Amino acid sequence: MAPSVMGSPIAPFLDLSMESQSPTVTGVRRGLSLLGDGKSPVTLDPPTEQQLLPFESMFQFERIKRPLGVGHLLLLLYTPFGLVLLLLRGICCFLVALILPRVCSEDQIDRWRLARVFVWLTGTRVRLEDEHLFEKGEDRAEIIVSNHISEFDAVAMLGITPAYILGYDFYKMLFFKLLGDKAGLVYVPYVSRQQGNGAGRDAVRQIIVERLARGNKPLAAFPEGGLTNGRKGLLQYHKFLFSLEKTVQPLAIRASDGPFPVNINDETSTFLANVLWYLFVPWHTYTVQFLPCTKAAPGEDPLVVAQRVMKATADALEQQASPFMYRDKIAYTRYKTHQRKNSKR
């Protein structure tokens, strides 16, 4: 289990729960309001920067962990082997993605669980908890939702069950692009995350409804809309999936950073850099905990359902369900990027 800050002497100052109006939440909201959308450089005074630190603790802004120690020396010694492993994994993934969709139908890939080859090729280990709560067959949930901590969460998901997995970054990587729909990867245009009720968002809704109508396998999604570091808190779950009156299977995902002091994700890096570092490290271990299936009660507000599922997931992870949204993370990440650029001048 991930360590919890609740119950510690500093807990009142780290209260990011959406259910409270703590000084921490108020301070973060104030700081985020000063950032706007984050596109323009903003200079914050030290007290405001301090108020934003609890929010920053939800994300990862460095690749190599600190302080330096023996693990860093071992990482240095491992580097030549890691580069060879990265190259081999990249070639193998590319070849499988190139060949598999051309020799097998979607039904064959699902029936024979061929997508699991990527779990093995990428060094992804998947350990399941409370698997008895995972409904299968005719009783299975139509939608699977999970917190989001890594670019490879979709690979871990394919190791559990065939599913249509929604993702914003699939087309940024060639082997995801080659696999396409046959492996269940469903590309969602990135712009749709910030268009509100615009055409992009409507197109995404149509994709979801169409996949669910097929009825051959569940649809899986990460309703936070973006990554967290999997240690402190969750972003707000988008409510649309919970408005469809479908049975939902929540998952609580944890992932190790591997045997070296290298973070699984770095918000200051590109999608490609995160993928290459993942393949460089010998292995990562995912722990997937199944939570009880749920469904909206008649007349229940979709937002209430989304927050209920989010809270249950956060509790299982011993984290907090924060009131902050994906757009808040984007604004803060832009601010940190501006800061980093200025520090290099």
Closest CA to 284 of 293, 297, 275: 275
Per-residue pLDDT at 13 exceeds 80: no
Pairwise CA distance, residues 207 & 184, whole Å: 13
Residues in the chain: 345
Split at pLDDT 50, 70, 90, the class of 21 is: confident
> Can you list the domains of the chain with their CATH numbers?
1-58+326-345 (no CATH), 70-321 (3.40.1130)
Taking residue 187's Cβ as centre, other Cβ atoms within 10 Å add up to: 17
Taking residue 36's Cβ as centre, other Cβ atoms within 10 Å add up to: 12
Helix, strand, coil % in the chain, rounded to nearest 5: 50, 10, 40
Q: Which residue has the higher pLDDT, 253 or 139?
A: 253
Split at pLDDT 50, 70, 90, the class of 194 is: low
Split at pLDDT 50, 70, 90, the class of 7 is: very low
Q: What pLDDT, in 10s, does the model give residues 124-165?
A: 999 999 999 998 877 899 999 999 999 899 999 989 999 999
Note whether 147 and 224 are within 8 A (CB).
Answer: yes
Q: What pLDDT, in 10s, does the model give residues 254-294?
A: 999 999 999 999 998 888 899 999 999 999 999 999 999 99
Per-residue pLDDT at 343 exceeds 80: no
Pairwise CA distance, residues 114 & 327, whole Å: 36
The residues, any chain, with a CB within 8 Å of residue 80's CB and separated by 6 or more, are: none
Closest CA to 226 of 86, 81, 59: 59
pLDDT of residue 341: 79
Per-residue pLDDT at 43 exceeds 70: yes
The residues, any chain, with a CB within 8 Å of residue 262's CB and separated by 6 or more, are: 63, 64, 65, 75, 277, 280, 281
Note whether 82 and 281 are within 8 A (CB).
Answer: yes
Please report, for residues 195, 300, 311, the alpha-carbon distance to residue 306 in angstroms, rounded to integers and kept in the order given: 20, 10, 9
Q: Which residue has the higher pLDDT, 197 or 331?
A: 331
User: What is the torsional sign of CA 112, 248, 226, 40?
Assistant: positive
What's the rounded mean pLDDT across residues 320-327?
95
Please report where in the chains the tokens 């939570």 appear, as a residue.
Answer: 291
Taking residue 335's Cβ as centre, other Cβ atoms within 10 Å add up to: 25
Beta strands per DSSP E along the chain:
124-129, 143-146, 164-167, 185-187, 219-221, 233-234, 248-255, 284-290, 320-321
Please report, for residues 39, 242, 333, the alpha-carbon distance to residue 31 in angstroms, rounded to integers and kept in the order given: 15, 30, 13
Note whether 329 and 235 are within 8 A (CB).
Answer: yes
Helix axes 46-56, 23-35, angle to 10 degrees: 110
DSSP 137-173: GGG--SEEEE----TTHHHHHHTT---EEEESSGGGS
SS3 at position 221 = strand
Which secondary-structure segment (H or E) carries 276? helix 271-280
Split at pLDDT 50, 70, 90, the class of 338 is: confident
pLDDT of residue 190: 60
